[in-house]
Amino acid sequence: MISNIQIKIRGYHLDLYGHVNNTRYLEFLEEARWTIKEKYFDSQNKRDEEFGFVVVNTNINYRNYTQLGDTLEIRTTISHIGNKSAVFRHEIYLIGSDKLIADADVTFVIIDRSTGKAMPIESEWRTRLEVLYNQPFSGHQ
């Protein structure tokens, strides 16, 4: 399954050159992951405090630039589930086109907040993550 969010480019996203600064894309990806966490992993009654998602590696490719007023769609899926880590696959597109702006693979672990240690991804966690599992959805690598 692919999870999508949209972000409109505002003035505060821009750098001195008038386009979105590379570090802002990391914030956009984080927003996509928070949306997924809230939708698929938090309990309905309260925020689940026993676990945390921690990014351990980010590989991002910047393919095109965007500017003020553009609207981006961030498509996110899970492309790999291992024993203790998994990978979010993000692709950012300019709405209304097939223009790929950036793509990224973000490796994460799920930690037990009481110990700070990575938890094995088994049984319930594997089932929960598999809802978003999908092979990478584009030919861009």
**Per the domain annotation, does 124 fall within a domain?**
yes
Alpha carbon distances (Å) from 86 to 44, 45, 61, 126: 24, 26, 19, 10
Provide the pLDDT for residue 49.
67
Total tally of structural domains belonging to the chain: 1
Asked whether residue 138 is assigned to any structural domain, the reply reads no
pTM confidence score: 0.86
**What pLDDT, on a 0 to 100 scale, did the predictor assign at position 83?**
96
pLDDT at residue number 84: 95
Task: State the pLDDT at residue 123.
Answer: 83
Those residues of the chain that have pLDDT short of 50 are: 139-141
Query: What integer pLDDT is reported at residue 42 of this predicted model?
Result: 72
pLDDT in the model for residue 139: 47
Query: For residues 60 and 104, is the Cβ–Cβ distance under 8 A?
Result: yes
Q: What CATH number has the domain bearing residue 67? A: 3.10.129.10
Angstrom distances, CA of residue 66 to CA of 8, 14, 62, 92:
10, 9, 11, 11
Q: Enumerate the active-site residues.
A: 15
On whether residue 118 sits in a domain, the answer given is yes
Tell me the backbone φ, ψ of residue 51, rounded to 5 degrees: -135, 165
Tell me, yes or no, whether 140 lies in a domain.
Answer: no
Q: Which domain holds residue 86?
A: 3-130
Q: What is the pLDDT of residues 89-113, one digit of tens each?
A: 999 999 999 999 999 999 999 999 8
CB neighbours of residue 32 within 10 Å: 23
